Amino acid sequence: MNGYAGKILRINLTTKTISTLPTSAYEDWGGGHGMGSKIFWDLIDRSKLPSLRAYDPDNIVTLMTSPIAGTMVPGGAARTEVQGIGAQTYPEWFTHSNFGGRFSSMLKYAGWDGVVIEGRAEKPVWIDIRNDTVRIQDAANLWGLDTWQTQERIWSLVTGQDAFNNWIELDEDGSRTTQRPAVVCIGPAGEALSRTACLIHDAGNGAGQGGFGGVWGSKNLKAISVIGTGGISIADPASLFEVRLWAQRTYGNDLNHPEKSSWTWFGVRGTEQINWGTGGRARLHACIGCHRGCHERAEKSVRNDSMCSESFLLNYTRLKDMLLKTDDAYYPTSMTQKLGINASEVLKGTSYLKALYKAGVLGQGCTIDCDLPFDKVGSREYFEAFFTMLIQRTGIGNDFAEGFYRAAMNWGRLEEDLRSGILNYGYWGMPTHTYDPRCEPYWGYGTLLDSRDINEHCFSFIFWKTSLTLGHPPLDAEFVVNLVTGKMAPYDDDPLMLDFSDANLYSEHQAKLVAWHRHYSRFWKRSVLYCDLRWPDFLNTKGPGNSGLTPEGEPKFFNAVTGKNLTFLEGNAIGEKIWNLDNAIWTLQGRHRDQLQFAEFIYEIPFTGGGPFAFYYMPWYENGSWSYRKVNGRTLDRQGVEEFKTKFYKLEGWDTETGWPTRSTLERLGLDEVADELERQNRLGRE
């Protein structure tokens, strides 16, 4: 099994049983998400799915790697996929998250393709993996520590106080290393069973969405530590080297001639890199095996590895602190990592609280009594009070810990605040991403059909490469549309998939776009675990004819590692199979098409945006020609969304009345057992 370690670690915290599953039984699912979904399906008591909740001991959590994890595949060696019933969404769906760094690679070097967690420990524990030796350790001395302190303590426990100056002996057979363990853990938010809690690895690699920090807390699981000294069998090492060199020479940046270098994902040239608003002196930091660095390692430890939502919290710090780059300015950014809190909840929740305070609804002595110092919003004092309330669940902090969707529900304001949009939670009780469904409908549709904000940026590069230049990108719209859709087999004959005009928002073309996106992402990004910020590489100004690595790159790297002869389209077909299995799980949980609804503000309040999102340009087809048009200022039509859903269900071969998979579709994908289970529970879609 080239690329695979060959076994999956299975731990039952209730019985303290440690066993293994053979990876060969799940190899056809690729890795990552595919394996995680199939393991969940196999091990969970499916009769309990309608009533099973995130904090139930019977909930199963998987952490899965992929065959390319720990290898030289650029933008693909580092991801870990996390799955299980999540605590953050409303309702509590079977969901997923993932994180980068070095955990997946170290797990592979220790001889494991993944970890399955079942049950609940009687008292706090952590899992100590040293090659084949696995122990469930007492975590009494770790409970209460933040995520950075937890990792440092475990490094010391595993390697000794002087670990970084000496070889570490791991096994009796003489295995040794100079590495520190890779640790993923929860902070105080997870211990408090906050639905906003996440998993943190190293300084800031986080499985942010899903509330898996709270799920681990409910299982009394503080951390998983792994250190390994093994290797990974590669089918054709020479080919892997050659494919990487081919990718670098043909598509990579030329550091000697940055003016000739390719566009990065964010639309800057050459050796420039995203500055996530952190400022100060810093160097780039990449996940293991990656060819680019999205994270920063700062001169000071504050804000290390922060990006995106965490760094945007700087927008809420006081201007003076921001300009002077004081530690107080970076305090909320670092604390979301150390406490293990989902940064998007803090970001969108802060906006929500400010709006309620401004309206006179929330504050000291108000209808919603809250003693946060709103006169000092953005100060360290304000955020210290906020985080303390949430972690200790004191007073209104108990509502904060439940997430702001449930908080609004508890305050009797949910319907009102979703209608006005001051609660910017567009679907499934989750914060709406900045790629708004009113502007990029495929993002919203994909999220409604999934279990959480998809956070998959396959087509968002078009926004960045147009909007940052205020509608004047380097390549014309028709060229970009034809180049990108020409790579999207089996729908590669339909350029209108990338038509974001008003007339096309609810069309079969949009249904094809969403279907392709779900299938591609389920296999290549969620299962093979190519990094979302680097794949797919549709457009690359250094590539021949401005064409990027996709669709040649994904299978070339995968096949060099595994020795398989998988085509790009065959990978997408496996993605369709995984997508149908996920939908079967949601169907057994009780999902019905009628539940797939945007929040009211998506239908009633036009999107205006701010910052770069005030200039939201996307491809637009009208009167036989393509251009870039500003798509701000529109809403979605409720009936139009229903028409889209019907078209999508027909395209996927699902029941258009319920959204449930049908037997013919499941059997076509080799999921006969899944069809039988749905029929037993009277949840099989009608043909």
Residue 263 reports pLDDT greater than 70: no
Angle at 517 between CA 459 and CA 81, to 5 degrees: 100
367 and 463 both lie in a single domain: no
H/E stretch holding 539 reads: none
Asked if residue 188 lies in contact with residue 146, where contact means CB atoms within 8 angstroms, the answer is: yes
521 and 462 both lie in a single domain: yes
Sort 354 into a burial class: Cβ within 10 Å, 0-12 / 13-18 / 19+: middle
Distance CA 482, CA 487 (A): 9
400 and 445 both lie in a single domain: no
Q: How confident is the model at residue 320 (pLDDT cuts 50, 70, 90)?
A: low
- Examine residue 314 and state whether it is found in any structural domain, yes or no: yes
481 and 607 both lie in a single domain: yes
Q: Where does 425-527 have alpha helices with state H?
A: 441-449, 460-467, 477-485, 508-520
H/E stretch holding 554 reads: helix 553-562
Q: How confident is the model at residue 656 (pLDDT cuts 50, 70, 90)?
A: very high
User: CB atoms < 10 A from the CB of 352, how many?
Assistant: 23
Query: For the whole model, what pTM was predicted?
Result: 0.95
DSSP-assigned letter for residue 679: H
Number of domains, the chain: 3
CATH of the domain at 551: 1.10.599
Among candidate residues 265, 354, 348, the one with its CA nearest the CA of residue 312: 348
Quote the percentage of the chain above a pLDDT of 90.
Answer: 77
- Indicate if the alpha-carbon torsion angle 484, 572, 426, 88 is positive or negative: negative
- Examine residue 240 and state whether it is found in any structural domain, yes or no: no
- Examine residue 522 and state whether it is found in any structural domain, yes or no: yes
Question: Secondary structure of 581-642 in the HEC alphabet?
Answer: HHHHHHHHHCCCHHHCCCCHHHHHCCCCCCHHHHCCEEEEEECCEEEEEECCCCCCCHHHHH
196 and 316 both lie in a single domain: no
Q: What is the pLDDT, as a whole number, of residue 462?
A: 87
Q: What is the pLDDT, as a whole number, of residue 524?
A: 98
| Lowest-confidence region among 116-125, 186-195, 278-287, 641-650 | 278-287
**Tens digit of each residue's pLDDT (9 = 90 or more) over 451-501:** 999 999 999 888 887 776 655 566 889 999 999 999 999 999 999 999 999
Q: What is the pLDDT, as a whole number, of residue 269?
A: 37
- Examine residue 247 and state whether it is found in any structural domain, yes or no: no
Q: What are the residues whose beta carbons fall under 8 Å from the beta carbon of 154, sequence distance 6 or more?
A: 126, 142, 181, 183, 185, 223, 225
**Tens digit of each residue's pLDDT (9 = 90 or more) over 368-421:** 999 999 988 888 899 999 999 999 999 999 999 999 999 999 999 999 999 999
Q: How many CA atoms lie within 13 A of 424 on its CB side?
A: 21
Distance CA 284, CA 164 (A): 22
Q: How confident is the model at residue 286 (pLDDT cuts 50, 70, 90)?
A: confident
Residue 345 reports pLDDT greater than 90: yes
Asked if residue 527 lies in contact with residue 32, where contact means CB atoms within 8 angstroms, the answer is: yes
Residue 358 reports pLDDT greater than 50: yes
Q: How confident is the model at residue 270 (pLDDT cuts 50, 70, 90)?
A: very low
Q: What is the pLDDT, as a whole number, of residue 541?
A: 79
461 and 352 both lie in a single domain: no
In the numeric block, the tokens 């998979």 are attached to 661
Residue 670 reports pLDDT greater than 80: yes
**Tens digit of each residue's pLDDT (9 = 90 or more) over 15-51:** 999 999 999 999 999 999 999 999 999 999 999 999 9
Among candidate residues 288, 334, 281, 287, the one with its CA nearest the CA of residue 310: 334
Region 328-337 average pLDDT: 86
Q: Between 684 and 326, where is the model more confident?
A: 684
346 and 456 both lie in a single domain: no
- Examine residue 666 and state whether it is found in any structural domain, yes or no: no
- Examine residue 396 and state whether it is found in any structural domain, yes or no: yes
Long-range contacts of range 40-47, CB-CB < 8 Å, 24 or more positions apart?
Answer: 40/83, 40/84, 40/94, 40/585, 41/581, 41/584, 41/585, 41/674, 43/116, 43/118, 46/588, 46/677, 46/681, 47/681
Asked if residue 632 lies in contact with residue 608, where contact means CB atoms within 8 angstroms, the answer is: yes
**Tens digit of each residue's pLDDT (9 = 90 or more) over 540-574:** 878 899 899 999 999 999 999 999 999 999 999 99
Burial 69-97 (b: 16+ CB within 10 A, else e): bbbbbbbbbbbbbbbbbbbbbbebbbbbb
- Examine residue 502 and state whether it is found in any structural domain, yes or no: yes
447 and 300 both lie in a single domain: no
43 and 119 both lie in a single domain: yes
Q: What is the mean pLDDT of the chain?
A: 91
Burial 540-561 (b: 16+ CB within 10 A, else e): bbbbeebbbbbbbbbbbbbbbb
Cis peptide before 490 (omega within 30 of 0): yes
Residue 623 reports pLDDT greater than 60: yes
Distance CA 79, CA 89 (A): 22
- Examine residue 411 and state whether it is found in any structural domain, yes or no: yes
Question: Which domain-ending residue is among 173, 206, 227?
Answer: 227
69 and 174 both lie in a single domain: yes
Take residue 587 and report the two structure tokens written for it.
């169907």
Residue 86 reports pLDDT greater than 80: yes
In the numeric block, the tokens 């000071």 are attached to 300
Among candidate residues 251, 346, 268, 330, the one with its CA nearest the CA of residue 296: 330
Residue 307 reports pLDDT greater than 80: no
CATH of the domain at 54: 3.60.9.10
What's the distance, CA 523 to chain centroid? 14
Strand partners, 395: none
**Tens digit of each residue's pLDDT (9 = 90 or more) over 210-258:** 999 999 999 999 999 999 999 999 999 999 999 999 998 888 776 666 5
409 and 464 both lie in a single domain: no
Region 150-168 average pLDDT: 82
> Could you tell me the residue range of the domain that residue 530 belongs to?
441-650
Asked if residue 338 lies in contact with residue 146, where contact means CB atoms within 8 angstroms, the answer is: yes
Residue 72 reports pLDDT greater than 80: yes
In the numeric block, the tokens 């020409």 are attached to 486
Q: What is the pLDDT, as a whole number, of residue 611?
A: 79
352 and 404 both lie in a single domain: yes
- Indicate if the alpha-carbon torsion angle 553, 558, 564, 568 is positive or negative: negative
Question: Which domain-ending residue is among 227, 244, 259?
Answer: 227
| Lowest-confidence region among 48-62, 191-205, 280-294 | 280-294
